[in-house]
Amino acid sequence: MTVTSHDAIDWVYPDNGCPDVSDSCFTCPLPICRYDVPGGLPVLYAAIRRRKELLERQVAEVARQSGNVFAAQILVEEAALGGCTVADVTGRARRQEYVLARDRAARRMRDSGMILKAIGHELGGRDHSTIIHSLSKTTTGMSSDPFKASALQSIKRTNGVTA
């Protein structure tokens, strides 16, 4: 199957994909093109396997310390997404990337059914009121969309709630 692709400078080229991975570059499951990695597909698969093993070891280490495998998995994933370590997420630092990762982890833990006290314990011994504040910041992504945020503020004003 040949798909025609356009890039940023309007070059048109055929997108045939890789015969053993995918029909098209658009549907390729690999995180990076096999032709961009020296050594090709075997080196890329080995790197993906090493990354997966490293994450599993981190989850096991955090779970050994806290006792909750599910919370450990969430902490490791959110720390990796935020570009920080689990110690940064559970620590006292208030850098923006740490706080965002901490808030996302608290939201995921709460959505999975964990109680506030347990979430606070997993996030470095924080109080349940701190977790409530964290959850209020991440509720339904209101802060990401200014129209939703302004709509939420107007609803609060009409219901007599001060923000």
**Hey, what are 123's tokens?**
């996030």
Q: What span, in angstroms and rounded, lies between the C-alpha atoms of 104 and 91?
A: 15
Find all residues with CB under 8 Å of 131, minimum gap 6, and list them: 106, 110, 116, 119, 120, 123
**Per-residue pLDDT at 49:** 86
Dihedral of alpha carbons 23, 28, 29, 32, sign: positive
* pTM for the predicted model, two decimal places: 0.57
Q: What span, in angstroms and rounded, lies between the C-alpha atoms of 97 and 106?
A: 14
pLDDT means over runs of 10, the chain (163 residues): 60 73 80 84 86 80 77 88 87 90 92 91 91 83 48 52 50
Q: Taking the domains of the chain in order of start, what are their residue ranges?
A: 43-142
CATH code assigned to 43-142? 1.10.1750.10
Return the SS3 of 160: coil
